[in-house]
A and B are shown apart, each in its own frame.
Chain A
């Protein structure tokens, strides 16, 4: 069965501090992994995907198949990063399987 686990429901860090949102997955095949973000009163939107290996808004995420993890990182948090973050897995180009989400709060 496919499963995505985000162990932290809430994460609070100070502005300028590094931030890491954890994501672990279980899937027997080769997954596609994503991070989605939902800012206050906005739609859920794609932040980044592992196949693109790019940095978006200063965030990066590396797929670690050995640890089955896809943690989201940013070296210096900004107040505008406060949002709900969802890690998601997709198999065979079909539905997304989401984690429970982590609410990130950046304190000034």
Chain B
């Protein structure tokens, strides 16, 4: 079946603009995770959802970052007033339930000019 999909695949924006990144998990997967992959920082956890609830938001780097999930499916990561240090590849992963293998999407490459 279809894997995790993310859109857009690439996003170039100007400093100070808001961006929205979308993740479509594998159908039926209840757990959804957001990670960030940046040069020098490796892969960092941002937030995870169990259903529509986010039990762990500890990785969000600032209050400019927020995420939501609706209908236990699609999730949107929003970055307000983007900064150059937000430039990274944002990865989404899903798993049937927490504790199962996480399946990763292709990522969204965000470039803030």
Task: Pick the interface stretch among B15-23, B41-49, B69-77, B80-88.
Answer: B41-49
User: Cβ of B33: which chain A residues have Cβ within 8 Å of it?
Assistant: 95-96
Chain B contact-residue range equals 20 to 34
Decide: A86 near B43, CB < 8 A? Known: A46-B101, A93-B98. yes
Chain B at the A interface: mostly helix, strand, loop or mixed? Answer: strand
A88's closest neighbor in chain B, by CB?
B43
Which of B35, B43, B56, B105 meets A101, CB within 8 Å? B43
A45 CB–B CB distance under 8 Å: yes
Q: Is the CB of A43 within 8 A of B104?
A: yes
Decide: A44 near B91, CB < 8 A? Known: A97-B45, A98-B42, A100-B42. yes
Q: Is the CB of A94 within 8 A of B48?
A: yes
Q: Is the CB of B56 within 8 A of A43?
A: no
Q: Give complex CA distance A45, B93 in Å.
A: 10
Which of B59, B104, B106 meets A95, CB within 8 Å? B59
Q: Is the CB of B43 within 8 A of A95?
A: no
Q: Give complex CA distance A43, B102 in Å.
A: 12
B1 CB–A CB distance under 8 Å: no
Question: In whole Å, how far is B76's beta carbon from the nearest beta carbon of chain A?
Answer: 19
Q: Give complex CA distance A94, B54 in Å.
A: 11
Q: Is the CB of A94 within 8 A of B43?
A: no
Question: In whole Å, how far is B6's beta carbon from the nearest beta carbon of chain A?
Answer: 10
Q: Using CB atoms and an 8 Å cutoff, list the residues of chain B in contact with chain A.
A: 3, 33, 35, 42-45, 48, 55-56, 59, 91, 98-99, 101-102, 104-107
Question: What are 22 A-B residue pairs whose CB atoms fall within 8 Å in the complex?
Answer: A43-B3, A43-B104, A43-B107, A44-B43, A44-B91, A46-B101, A46-B102, A49-B101, A86-B42, A86-B43, A94-B55, A94-B98, A95-B56, A95-B59, A96-B35, A96-B45, A97-B45, A98-B42, A98-B43, A98-B44, A99-B42, A100-B42
